Structure 1
Amino acid sequence: MKKLSLFVYSGLGVITIFVLFLCCKPSESKSASIQQREQIIPTNLKWSERMALSIMKRHPKAWQIDNHEKPKWDYKIGMILTAYEKLYAKTKEQKYFDYIRDYADVLIDSTGSFQNFNPKDHNIDFINAGKILFGLYHKTNNQKYLKALQTLRNQFVDYPRTQSGGFWHKAIYPNQMWLDGLYMGQPFYARYTVEFENGAKLDDVAHQFELLRNHAYDKETGLFFHAWDESKKMPWANKETGTAPHIWLRALGWYGMALVDVLDYFPKDHPKQKELVGYLNELANGVSKYQDASGLWYQVPNLPNRKGNYLEASGSSMLVYAIAKGVNKGYLPAKFNKVATKGFDGLTNKLIKVDNNGELHITQVCASAGLGGNPYRDGSFEYYMSEKIKIDNSHGLGGFLLAAIELDK
């Protein structure tokens, strides 16, 4: 009887210990999770690293940015990761390189094939994230990155064009060129043709800018309309000029970033280099006239007093980056540094919020905007005001990171 009771007692002891063990494990896990969330981001770091660490804290995997539920090869994440490339080059912090490589390795298999890619879609947005592959290939010599680069380059071989030779924004937007598309495709195209083709296609790259300069430029404001329909058949298109009805801030940002980034690959003695530098000066002069006293720009920049208009973060960040880089590279006069600095100060003073753990958030970001499609987007002022305004949207995160790195604040 004593033996039996001892056995039961001992058994209960084992069960008790086992139960205690189970109870402790989730607590430890929960504690680690809380610790991760409460990680302090040092305020003595530069704005660029503070924002980069904030993004990584919220999204340990880059594909999770914008709260994506599953991995996607995404132009906005591509923009953010080009900023991480610059940050890695400055800081030599391995975690920034790993963040980039992990994103590529999730979306590209061992043969260099992209997940969920149909070349017949001819979507110029798909090209943009490909810019991260150059650095990955040069650093690792992994042939899958080269294969992926070649896949994206081949998109331009049979990519649909307007009669005058401009790349359509997408196959679903026939005969249309958007300012957005210059950033999505041309910096990649320029770098590829310089590194692998001795610059054979640089004239074609420049031609894309020439077309939009000649057809989307608004002499009255010195700014650019969002898009141009060469066929003039789209309901949103001006029947005489083919231009979109309004000027949109982020489109100006895309255009400016595209210019300063493609110029990285145009030799000074290339016949088109001075032309592109001229376009950048024209843009800098134009947008400077519409810079708000805060340093920021409005969603529809030439109508600042119109009801509903607001100071928008992503386009403001992109213009700050484009102007700052233009000055740093010697494309723009030094006086424009004041414009860039004023713009960045406006971002940090008015649109960047810091939580108790030092985590940065960017506010007043237009979630998305376009023309045509379903549901139909008519390009009216009311349409641009109707798009959702978000916090920590990737367009704003990427633009701010690039601006902060370029100004080295």
Structure 2
Amino acid sequence: MVHLQAVSTVLFLLNLLQAVHVNALRPSSYAVWAVDSAISRGQGNGLDTNGKPLVSYEHGELQWALRLLYERDGNKTYYDYIKTGVDNVVSSNGTVGGGYSATQFQLDPLRVGPTFLYLYNQTGQSKYKIAANEFHNQLINIHSRTAQGQFWHKLIYPNQGWLDGIYMGDVFYATYTQLFQPNNKTAWDDITLQFTLMFNNTIQNVATPNHTLLNLLYHGYDFSHTTIWADPDRGHSPEIWIRALGWYSMALVDTLSIIPTSHPGHKILLTFLQTLTPRIVSAADPTSGVWWLVMTQPGRSGNYFESSGASMFVYSLLKAVRLGYVSDKDGKIVAAAKKAYQYIVKNWVVDNGDGTMGWLNTVQVGSLNTDGSFDYYIGIPTDLNDLKGLAAFALASIEYEHL
């Protein structure tokens, strides 16, 4: 009996030591844990899963988080990872590879552009400026626009503006203008126009059957009204999709820190943010504190809480309050963000037991290349460790850790 008790005690102590060891491997910062886990899996390094160079907006999103953490903590590993990732897609003479083609009119690849500019600032190496110039040339001299002046989302989606594209293209556009053309009023006017056209053409302003009136932004619009989903009202798409609104929200808070306060666009973007923020808070599920994938149909069978958009909202809400872009005298915005963040950590962060974390419930994609219906959005699978969501969680964690 004594022998069995001794064995039991030893096993208990071994299990305890193993648990202590696993916990010791885990960083105290969720933001660090998220990016370290991505790095350990080789995510966001300028290469695809087959090791070929790839210009990817997901990599640009992660690089933004890595830069913020490097500036906060001084961990050079993050800077080196950023540089390696960009060097995988930018040649020594500054040519952008990785599948990039300016004539495809895609806004998505331009999300890596702010990283080019960051590295140019850090190193002074001309190749990063040349690469950024290539992206900028696409916007100014090549990219097609609607008659109102909105950049097409892609060549294959003529006359369509998507919320996603504002985050992909216009944060770069603003960063480039700030660095090289800070007094270029025409450029600042154009950047403001991109946000304004998107807001005015997608804002939900009337109740429709079976759709909750949230007064938020539909996924996109077709200025030509020729696609199957284009509503007679401004050509907007049928649903408010969480991640599209998340992209736009992040673009607002990020661009507001770039556009000069002396330019009228700063006040315009500020108004958009101040308009959307309380509505995003109100749209959260009252029990969980997070948001539905298809926000216009909360609680409908098949709908679910989605992790990338929820993280984007937390980042945007907390950054908006921290920088004084929105007033939170009663603390409701920060309280809502905290509640959402706590749900996120409890339900979508998985301790893998090896020092890394797993990430759940990020929908693979959301497009307007079909009918833009509720059934389309809920029919897209979710991915484990999807970088779009994991990077958004890192960004949300950085803001949460500011608290």
Name the TM-score, length of structure 1 as normaliser. Answer: 0.86
Change (3 A) 1:44 1:173: closer
In 2, Cα distance between the equivalents of 1:87 and 1:47? 11
The one-letter code sitting in structure 1 at the alignment partner of 2:234 is T
1:189 aligns with 2:173: yes
- The alpha-carbon distance between structure 1 residues 207 and 52, as it changes in their structure 2 partners (threshold 3 A), is same
- 2:15 maps to none
Once the 2 structures are TM-superposed, how far is the Cα of residue 389 of structure 1 from its aligned partner? 0.8
1:281-337 deviations in whole A, cap 9, x for unaligned?
Answer: 111111111212222111012312100001100000111111111111100122311
Q: How does 1:357-372 map to 2 (within 5 A)?
A: 357-372=354-369
Worse-superposed segment, 310-319 or 39-48:
39-48
- Residue 322 (structure 1) aligned to one of 313, 316, 321: 316
Q: Corresponding residue for 2:123?
A: 140
- SS across alignment from 2:173: helix
Q: Are residues 1:349 and 2:346 paired?
A: yes
Match of 1:242 among 235, 242, 255: 235
RMSD of aligned residue pairs (Cα, Å):
1.7
Query: Which secondary structure does the structure 2 equivalent of 1:223 belong to?
Result: coil
Change (3 A) 1:68 1:277: farther
- Report the equivalent of 1:265: 258
| Deviations, residues 233-271 of structure 1 (Å, cap 9, x unaligned) | 111111332000111000110010010111111222221
What does residue 97 of structure 1 align with?
79
- Partners of 1:41 and 1:50 within 8 A in 2: no
Of 56, 59, 62, the residue aligned with 2:39 is 56
Which residue identity is paired with 1:400?
A: F
- Is 1:253 the counterpart of 2:253 in the alignment? no
Would you say the 8 A contact 2:22–2:353 is kept in 1?
no
Which residue is 2:58 aligned to?
Answer: 76
Q: Answer with 290-299 or 222-231: which moved more.
A: 290-299
One-letter code aligned to 2:200: N
For residue 184 of structure 1, give the secondary structure of its aligned residue in structure 2: helix
Please state how far the C-alpha of 1:50 moved relative to its aligned partner: 0.9
* Alignment length (residue pairs): 367
SS at match of 1:157: helix
Question: What corresponds to 2:395 in structure 1?
Answer: 402
SS in 1 for 2:161: strand
| SS of structure 2 residue aligned to 1:96 | helix
1:113 Cα offset (Å): 0.3
Q: Is the 8 A contact 1:222 1:282 kept in 2?
A: no
Does the residue aligned with 1:156 lie in a helix, a strand or coil? helix
Give yes or no for contact 1:238–1:244 (8 Å, CA) kept in 2: yes
Would you say the 8 A contact 1:54–1:360 is kept in 2?
yes
Report if aligned partners of 2:202, 2:217 keep a CA contact under 8 Å in 1.
yes
State how far apart, in whole Å, the 2-side matches of 1:68 and 1:186 are. 30
Q: Identify unmatched segments of 5+ residues in structure 1.
A: 1-37
Pick from 178, 193, 215 the counterpart of residue 207 of structure 1. Answer: 193
Change (3 A) 1:355 1:394: same
Amino acid corresponding to residue 303 of structure 2 in structure 1: N
Deviation at 1:41, TM superposition (A): 6.6
> For residues 191 and 199 of structure 1, what CA distance do their matches in structure 2 show?
13
- For 1:90, the aligned partner's letter is R
User: How many Å separate the matches in 1 of 2:45 and 2:63?
Assistant: 8
SS where residue 107 of structure 1 aligns?
A: coil
Bigger shift: 191-200 or 317-326?
191-200
Question: SS state of the match for residue 172, structure 1?
Answer: coil
1:39 CA displacement: 8.8
